[in-house]
Structure 1
Amino acid sequence: MNYWLATPYYLVKDLVQKGHVRSIKAKKNILASIVIKGCSVAISLALVPLTINYISPSGYGIWLTLSAIVSWFSFFDIGMTQGLRNKFAEAKAKDDTESAQSYVSTAFAVIAIIFSAAWLLFLAVNQFLDWSQILGVEQSMRGEISMLATIVFTYFCLQFVLRIITTVITADQQPAKASVIDMLGQLLALIIIFVLVYTTSGSLINLGLALCIAPLVVLGVANIYFFRGPYKVFRPSLAKVNLSHAKGLFGLGAVFFVIQLSGIIQYETANLIISRNFGPSEVTSYNIVFRYFGILNMVFAIFLTPFWSASTEAFLNKDMKWIRSSIQKYNWLNMALMLAGTVMLLFSEQVYTLWLGKGTVEIDFMLSFWGFMFFAVSMFGSKYVSLLNGISALRLQFLSCLISPFIYILTVLILIKYYNMGVYSVFIGAIIANFNAFILAPIQYYKIIVQNKRGIWIR
């Protein structure tokens, strides 16, 4: 092997193979995830201009807004997938294969029942909804958008059941494999849309079918492969559905449900607020900024994802030293990404032009600035939240989530109505409402891990 190629190779290999078994597993997944997420970012960036050119900036804004509204219905999950993640990780840490399979089987059964009922309810209600009025668009688009809503909601219900496999893989501290599934779904969607651009005229229905069917196909294949192969011992079975385990999933899931619902209200209403106050085209501008600076969050998530389930195992084994060391490393990564984000902000206008084409979408610098600040704050707090989620210390997060959505909506509406602020007010409101992540969670981490406090801190 060439010297200049061999030296970095052996340096990386030596770095990966040093440390605790838990750390080695995490580092291998991080390296794999960097490559996979890099491909995902490239695909995601390619999808935006391709989609905008296919259906126009206004049409793309309609798609984004409708998708956000439908995603609100994720509260039907009542936090069970997150509860499954913790319970599965705990069972694996104790080598309790039977309980792990029972948790998977029970989660499959309950979520399938819940989302089947939700789908039937939506079909009954959808015919009475005036989507053109809800989204603030022309009345002539009512039928088309109603059909699109049915497609998106059907996809949403199916993928919630099928994505249990990615929850299991992630709980097993192998998030890179879960990322491959998501990446392949994106790639298939990109290929389909590329074909549509050259074979059909712009259509919201065609776009919805492409973006919904592609990931479902990949998820279906993944379920067959993993549950017949590497995860055969955890394959869902009706005989393994256990109501006592369902109670455990519901108990932990109920807390995650409130947390998830808070996030849905806090973030997914952004597109609707923007569409109704500034128009669908501004939804596109907001989402371009969100995607652009979201690259920082995606990079951080590559390193952070293994930490949730790894911290569950470390806390059960009372390995506080490993947890403290991990948090310190994430702090250094936060600072590095802040510097990278500053460079991204300074050159944002040039990047938008290169990415989307000159004059395609006009984006105010203040929108970019506050988008960067939002992700900077989110990244800082997410490592503490991930740890607390992993050890099921959710009480304070639960309480804060009871009020944060109201703080968010009130702040955004005041900034728009009384201070005439632009679309960036959505980012400002999200930062303020996220006080748990950058204030409460770091304090809670310090109390539990550093000072070994219990009581309300660990609940």
Structure 2
Amino acid sequence: MKKLFSSIYQYFNKFLVKGNARTVLAKKNIIGSILIKGGSIAVSLVMVPLTIDYVNPTRYGIWLALSSIVGWFSFFNVGMTHGLRNKFAEARTKGDKEAARMYISTTYAVLTIVFTAVWLVFLIVNPFLDWVEILNASSEMRMELSILAIIIFTYFCMQFVLKIINTLVTADQAPAKASLINFLGQIISLLVIVVLVYTTEGSLINLGLALCIAPIAVLILANFFFFKTDYKEFKPSIKYVNLSQSKNLFSLGLIFFIIQIASLIQYQTSNIIIAQSFGPYEVTTYNVVYKYFNVLGMGFGIFLTPFWSASTDAFFKNDINWIKKATIKYLQIGVLFVLGGVIMLFISDTVYRVWLKGQVDIDFTLSLWGLLFFTSFMFASIFVNFLNGISALKIQFWASLISPLVFIGSAYLLIDYYGMGVHALFISSLIASFNGIIIAPLQYYLIIYKKKKGIWIR
């Protein structure tokens, strides 16, 4: 047995160090991300029943609803951190440390100004917001909900500034470290909630403080740690703030913002269309299938995350062969995930019955189209991540302006004219994903194999 474990260890050790530095780094981060995100999922699963038991199901639902509403303010970020991710990776690849530090300092300055202003406006407006009416809660919770809203909103504003460090670590091709920062925050929150369960009565304010303070504390420590060690030479400084350069970050970030909005509209309107056309029950069936097969998307995402910043590095170093090989490997990994998805499809009925305790009936056709959608999603994400990494966003930007209209139009056409069921939403999603499925692979081919420039590289 000892010999077997030794052989396995030697095999993985050789596997990890095989390839160039960029490939080795990606492998280590993928393995690290699998372990860390696996732990993160486990903590999330444990935390749900624990928090429900602490505050009761109704109050936990209020917490989730309020967090979702406040979460919409994340759009004030306008994708600026995505702009920083590309600009920082590009500057480091070129060895331009001055530019890298300027981009970092400017991002911290601009986001601090923006979110401080947003936070102050919220403090002024909050007393006039009737959270009891908004959340359909008991009137006796009015003061508690107002305080909780301030706690959650303060947390969101602070994290958007402090999470810049996660962007830098990810841009530096070390997404596992970024995942570790989030995981440590979750662990501490879980421990605090365990203490609260045994020492206090259920309180939404205590829950809010437990789930908000711990991640913020970890992010503050992470900022101090990384800017004292790995990124000491890039430490933010007022003298490096160049607001005129923020235009470069905002222009790139704004494009990412529009693209994200298009995806959000598509996902959010799905539930509305289903509720209007088929009723609330079918909203549940659609979302169950979506979450079930999204396991494929999340799993594939762990492998794909390093590709974005690695593409930036490889492209600006003109290491085209690495990009070609990496793309082929990701396509091969995608095939394995699709095979796993086929297995998931054929056992889906059993999984739904056990998972949902027989409370929801889901048609096989809906599951089939769910698998087809996430298969196309994984395929498209390979090429979209590459294009994001080299900031070739112009075509994707214009497509994102059209795709929500295509989605909504095709959904109503398939439902009202052709009489299709809920699976029409997955079909419409496939149609609206024309950029990722068709244009992005073509754009990748023209850039990498045909050396095309012009609109393709913008």
Deviation at 1:425, TM superposition (A): 6.8
Distance in 2 (CA, whole Å) between partners of 1:128 and 1:280 is 32
TM-score by length of 2: 0.86
Q: Which runs of 5+ in 2 are unaligned?
A: none
Q: State the alpha-carbon separation in 2 of the partners of residues 85 and 208 from structure 1.
A: 30
Contact 2:376–2:437 (CA under 8 A) maintained in structure 1: yes
Count the aligned residue pairs: 455
Deviation at 1:221, TM superposition (A): 1.4
User: What corresponds to 1:27 in structure 2?
Assistant: 27
Name the counterpart of 1:11: 11
Distance 1:371 1:50, change over 3 A: farther
Q: Distance in 2 between matches of 1:125 and 1:373?
A: 45
Taking the aligned partners of 2:429 and 2:58, their CA distance within structure 1 comes to: 24
Alignment of 1:365-444 (within 5 A): 371-408=370-407, 430-444=429-443
- What amino acid sits opposite 1:437 in the alignment? G
- Which residues of structure 1 form unaligned runs of 5+? none
Task: Provide Cα deviations, 1:13-40, integer angstroms capped at 9, x if missing partner.
Answer: 2122222221112112122222112212
Matches within 5 A, 1:328-343: 328-343=328-343
Equivalence for 1:215: 215
Matched, 1:252 2:252: yes
1:146-225 to 2 correspondence within 5 Å?
146-199=146-199, 203-225=203-225
The residue matched to 1:402 in structure 2 has which SS? helix
Q: Judging changes above 3 Å, is the alpha-carbon distance between structure 1 residues 282 and 17 closer, same or farther for their aligned structure 2 residues?
A: same
Residues 1:453 and 2:442 are matched in the alignment: no
CA distance in 2, matches of 1:271, 1:117: 33
Give, in whole Å, the separation in 1 of the partners of 2:146 and 2:420.
Answer: 33
- Structure showing greater Rg: 2
* Shift in Å, 1:162: 0.5
TM-superposed deviation, 1:10 = 1.4
The verdict on how the C-alpha distance between 1:219 and 1:383 changes in structure 2, with shifts beyond 3 A counting, is same
Matched to 2:327, the amino acid is: I
Report the residue type matching 1:106 in the other structure. Answer: T
**Mapped partners of 1:130, 1:415: distance in 2:** 40
1:317 correspondence with 2:313: no
Letter in structure 2 aligned against 1:320 = I
Question: For residues 140-151 of structure 1, what are the structure 2 equivalents within 5 Å?
Answer: 140=139, 143=142, 145-151=145-151
1:111 to partner: Cα distance: 0.7
How many angstroms apart in 2 are the aligned matches of 1:78 and 1:10? 46
Q: Deviations over 1:259-282 (max 9, x none)?
A: 233234334566788899999999
Give the structure 2 partner of residue 228 of structure 1: 228
Verify the 8 A CA contact 1:69 1:272 in the aligned structure 2: no
Instruction: Give the deviation of 1:408 after TM superposition.
Output: 4.4
Higher mean displacement: 369-378 or 114-123? 369-378
Mapped to 2, the partners of 1:276 and 1:64 lie a distance apart of 24
Higher relative contact order (CA 8 A, sep 6+): 1
| Compared CA separation, residues 429 and 220, structure 1 to 2 (3 A) | farther
For residues 238-261 of structure 1, the C-alpha deviation after alignment (integer angstroms, 9 at most, x for no partner) is 111123432221222222222233
| Separation (CA, whole Å) in 1 of partners of 2:151 and 2:278 | 26
C-alpha distance in 1 between matches for 2:293 and 2:60: 19
Letter in 2 for 1:234: F
The yes-or-no answer on 1:70 pairing with 2:70 is: yes
Q: Distance in 1 between matches of 2:155 and 2:292?
A: 26
Q: Identity rate of aligned residues, in percent?
A: 55
Question: 1:92 aligned to 2:92?
Answer: yes
Deviation at 1:109, TM superposition (A): 0.3
- TM-score between the two structures when normalised by the length of structure 1: 0.85
**Distance between the aligned counterparts of 1:44 and 1:333, measured in 2?**
27
Amino acid at match of 2:118: A
Give 1:343-382 correspondences, 5 Å limit.
343-348=343-348, 351=351, 358=357, 362=360, 364=362, 371-382=370-381
Correspondence for 1:243 = 243
Structure 1 distance, partners of 2:412, 2:209, is: 34
The answer on whether the counterparts of 2:62 and 2:137 sit within 8 Å (CA) in structure 1 is no
Q: Please report how far the alpha carbon of residue 323 of structure 1 lies from its aligned counterpart in structure 2 after TM superposition.
A: 1.0
Cα RMSD between the aligned structures? 3.5
Q: Is the 8 A contact 1:37 1:298 kept in 2?
A: no
2:225 is paired with a residue whose SS is helix
User: Alpha-carbon deviations, 1:352-372, whole Å to 9, x = none?
Assistant: 67668x47x747456765554
